[in-house]
Amino acid sequence: MDELKRLVESVKLPITLPESAFILLGKRRIPDLNYIMQQYLSPLLAHLDANATAPPGGGPDSYLIPLTDGRYLKIALRDNELIELALIGS
């Protein structure tokens, strides 16, 4: 098992997020993924690819974050909780 997979599987879910983990844009409430990564998933920060763009298709309330090895980190939220982390790709 690779290091990144071990890191993802070591995160205890669900994680309850404070209101400060969300940005209000009018009536829309959008997760602040930068805040979430820094506060709750900091061991994964070294693996994020800041120069890549995430593709659509994560699903409702899911986000794909590009990683340096070509895979994506899928983050799924429900209400105020982070409920899923998964590695997507080969």
Q: How many domains does the chain have?
A: 1
Q: Please tell me the distance from the alpha carbon of residue 26 to that of residue 79, in angstroms, as a whole number.
A: 18
The tokens for 23 are 């940005």
Contact by Cβ (8 Å): 17, 82? yes
Please state the pTM of the whole predicted model: 0.88
Provide the residue range defining the domain that includes 56. 3-88
Q: What is the pLDDT along the chain (90 residues), one digit of tens a residue?
A: 599 999 999 999 999 999 999 999 999 899 999 999 999 999 999 999 988 888 777 778 899 999 999 999 999 999 999 999 999 987
